[in-house]
Amino acid sequence: MGDKANAHPGAAGRATAADHPASVRNVVLVGHSGSGKTTLVEALALTAGAVNRAGRVEDGTAVSDYDDIEHRQQRSVQLSLIPVEWGGYKINLLDTPGYADFVGELRAGLRAADAALFIVSAADGVDGATRMVWEECAAVGMPRAIVVTHLESARADFREMTRTCAEAFGADDPDAVLPLYLPLHGAKGPDGHAPVTGLVGLLSQRVFDYASGERKESEPGEDQLPVITEARNKLIEGIIAESEDESLMDRYLGGEDLDFKTLVDDLERAVARGIFHPVLAAAPAAEGARQGIGTVELLELITGGFPTPLEHPAPAVTTPGGKARPALSCDPDGPLVAEVVKTASDPYVGRVSLVRVFSGTLRPEETVHVSGHGLADRGHEGRALHEVDERVGALSSPFGKQQRPLTRCIAGDMACVAKLNRAETGDTLSAKDDPLLMEPWDMPDPLLPLAIQAHSKADEDKLSQGLSRLVAEDPAMRLEQNQDTHQVVLWCLGEAHADVALERLRSRYGVQVDVVSHKVSLRETFAGKSAGRGRHVKQSGGHGQYAICEIEVEPLPGGSGIEFVDKVVGGAVPRQFIPSVEKGVRAQAAKGVAAGYPLIDVRITLLDGKAHSVDSSDAAFQTAGALALREAAAEARIHLLEPVAEVRVLVGDDHVGPVMSDFSGRRGRVVGTEQAPGGRTLVRAEVPEIEIGRYAVDLRSLSQGTARFSRTYARHEPMPPQLSERIREQAQDVS
């Protein structure tokens, strides 16, 4: 680990294919936007010799954030893999976006990783969203460490930040969140701030000074020993408390001076088991320096303390038909099981899939079976359950815009695969003669609707293909073709997510779209009984049209639909034309009778009518039925019904009041609250859907990004008269 007594191992530079799972480390970087994840990745790549001082690879491009959209928006919007080598180990660094709208990319990174680095800015502290991700990792036992960045900030205080992290991340055991190093400060500048110039190792009691641009090791000064001793004793006690060797505590309390190797070995085991979470510090490299402060220590923590893929249980697998299969082991000689954790489009190569291999070995030009989960139960069009055999294209290791060829990718490693044209994010790759399907990872439900339409006829021709490719890449996006409103709707996680979707449609797929107002699926119903007479009589020479029918319409309870009753006596309407009347009234009900929305929850009774022996026909009685329903509606009071959703919000106790008050302003009704673990409350409410179109955005502001919500359709209810009248007027203006 970074506090080992021996000199750090040399960097191997560029990453190649791993030889064995034990030599691989898959690490995801987690933190809020602006915490310094991408800067830290570039610093680690610099220290490992993979990039030059300017953070560039051989072709001159940046090691990360090379997407054009990221350059324009000046923030990460997608998961990036940056593989480096250090001391004979291959480290796959997964840089995730910190903005809440791209949590789907974060979850993909968590799925592919075996351990997590939580990046915390000393200037900004720990936000609620980062705490929630920490709890998710804790629930599955993922090993975690914390890196404090932005120590160059005038407000930075490493000790205070360590205490904050212990409070935020060590709720069950604060002594399991402790620093391995203390920052070493140089002389104070004119502003009174002393820059960080190195680190003091607590276990080795050595100083690692970066002030000269090279990492130099020395003995601490006498004035530093009291602070080091106090922090070191606390660290040792924290390590021993989590030790599997119960004798260590007795030996320590008995006054025995535990040797350095014993402490480091115990520390590494505790970190790998996910029960101890070291805090490290990182700062930018000084001008002309070849290493960022803390990068060597962090690389040694990753290689020495984080688990190998052999130690991380793989997700459960079944056959595509749902039959359970034995748990996977990370064996390069085992059955092939890999997962697509990210899909992207390259203008030259085409579709490129980032794949994590959990079992077996993936090789170029071999045929694999692609299995994908269906999401039809979420209304996710274009994501049906799919099974197909595909030939794997070239394998490569990404680095900036470079793709370095690989001859194979073994269990535990990751690679980019070209030309998997049918594979989507989340799909499983397995042997074609032994197809398997991995359980899906948890993805947030996109709840912000974005209604779009093609800008021109040329765009309309390309829209369908562009949308299908967009949702294949991003499982956090849902496509809906609403049959009621005739709108194409992209459901996104937030405004930034929607902006990126529109930009990708334009820049990647050449589709220009216009954003239009999202419509909810309204309905109409009768407020009371009414009668109508439909008369369709035309004589224009030759065969004419003759049909007359009389109906009665009455409202039914919600959820009843359309009920048609025949009460004709004496053959006033011939039996063969009664289905024609029903067909006509149902067709008119589907079109609406007041504002163009479907009519529901009524009983339509056919009472009487007239027919002609020659001129009556199926078409004539259909028309008469529709006319009768329209006349009945003209004489009645029609209610416009709006969909009401059941909304469930999981929010911190501090924000319950604002959330409940906000529901009142949306014409909502709070129907209950329940206490939830972790100081949270589950608020259940019923809210008209027309009032929660932007709730995904508004709730984020109300709760400072810490609340989650879900929504399900409950029923349709009458709209307030003033709102109903406004919608009718708008419908009349359009017509």
**pLDDT tens, position by position, 615-659:** 999 999 999 999 999 999 999 999 999 999 999 999 999 999 999
**pLDDT tens, position by position, 209-229:** 888 778 889 998 888 889 999
Q: In the predicted model, is pLDDT for residue 353 greater than 70?
A: yes
- What's the confidence (pLDDT) of residue 3? 57
Task: Give the residue-averaged pLDDT of 331-353.
Answer: 87
If one counts every other C-beta atom within 10 angstroms of the C-beta of residue 222, the result is 7
Q: How confident is the model at residue 25 (pLDDT cuts 50, 70, 90)?
A: very high
Taking Cα atoms as reference points, which of 312, 357, 295, 296 lies closest to residue 332?
Answer: 357
If one counts every other C-beta atom within 10 angstroms of the C-beta of residue 580, the result is 23
SS3 of 27-54: EEEECCCCCCHHHHHHHHHHHCCCCCCC
If one counts every other C-beta atom within 10 angstroms of the C-beta of residue 351, the result is 20
Place of tokens 């997590």: 116
**pLDDT tens, position by position, 51-63:** 765 455 554 455 5
- What's the confidence (pLDDT) of residue 271? 93
Strands (E), 612-727: 638-652, 669-676, 680-688, 708-718
**Burial class (CB within 10 angstroms; exposed 0-12, middle 13-18, buried 19+) of 449:** buried
**pLDDT tens, position by position, 292-304:** 899 999 999 999 9
Taking Cα atoms as reference points, which of 379, 590, 591 lies closest to residue 489?
Answer: 379
**pLDDT tens, position by position, 262-274:** 999 999 999 999 9
- What's the confidence (pLDDT) of residue 329? 94
**Runs of H (alpha helix) within 508-617:** 578-591
- What's the confidence (pLDDT) of residue 73? 54
The most confident of 31-35, 258-262, 303-307, 397-401, by mean pLDDT: 303-307
Task: Give the residue-averaged pLDDT of 20-40.
Answer: 93
- What's the confidence (pLDDT) of residue 306? 95
- What's the confidence (pLDDT) of residue 69? 56
- What's the confidence (pLDDT) of residue 210? 86
Q: Which residues pair with 550 in a beta bridge?
A: 533, 608
- What's the confidence (pLDDT) of residue 288? 57
Q: In the predicted model, is pLDDT for residue 376 greater than 50?
A: no
Q: How confident is the model at residue 287 (pLDDT cuts 50, 70, 90)?
A: low
Q: Which residues pair with 206 in a beta bridge?
A: 201
Q: In the predicted model, is pLDDT for residue 78 greater than 90?
A: no
Run of H or E including 504: helix 495-507
The overall average pLDDT reported for the chain is 88
pTM equals 0.86
**pLDDT tens, position by position, 162-192:** 999 999 897 777 789 999 999 988 777 776 6
Angle at 560 between CA 377 and CA 580, to 5 degrees: 100
Sign of the CA dihedral 202, 114, 86, 285? Answer: negative
Region of poorest pLDDT, from 249-263, 639-653, 713-727: 249-263
Which tokens go with 545? Answer: 């049209």
Taking Cα atoms as reference points, which of 640, 410, 357 lies closest to residue 522?
Answer: 640
- What's the confidence (pLDDT) of residue 116? 96
Q: Which residues pair with 711 in a beta bridge?
A: 647
- Where b means 16+ CB within 10 Å and e means fewer, 661-692 reads ebbeebbbebeebeeeeeebbebebbbbbbbb
**pLDDT tens, position by position, 431-454:** 999 999 999 888 889 999 999 999
> In terms of DSSP bridges, do strands 144-149 and 277-281 run parallel, antiparallel, or are they unpaired?
parallel
Task: Give the residue-averaged pLDDT of 667-679.
Answer: 92
For the chain, what percent of residues have pLDDT higher than 70? 90
**What is the spatial distance between Cα 120 and Cα 357, in angstroms, rounded to a whole number?**
30
Task: Give the residue-averaged pLDDT of 580-593.
Answer: 96
Q: How many CA atoms lie within 13 A of 655 on its CB side?
A: 21
Task: Give the residue-averaged pLDDT of 112-131.
Answer: 92
Task: Give the residue-averaged pLDDT of 379-384.
Answer: 49
Region of poorest pLDDT, from 110-114, 188-192, 233-237, 691-695: 188-192
Q: How confident is the model at residue 119 (pLDDT cuts 50, 70, 90)?
A: very high
Sign of the CA dihedral 494, 495, 499, 505? Answer: positive
Run of H or E including 505: helix 495-507
Q: In the predicted model, is pLDDT for residue 733 greater than 70?
A: no
If one counts every other C-beta atom within 10 angstroms of the C-beta of residue 219, the result is 10
**What is the spatial distance between Cα 601 and Cα 320, in angstroms, rounded to a whole number?**
41
Q: How confident is the model at residue 110 (pLDDT cuts 50, 70, 90)?
A: very high
If one counts every other C-beta atom within 10 angstroms of the C-beta of residue 411, the result is 28
Question: Could you tell me the domains of the chain?
Answer: 11-311 (3.40.50.300), 329-438 (2.40.30.10), 448-516 (3.30.70.870), 523-636 (3.30.230.10), 641-734 (3.30.70.240)
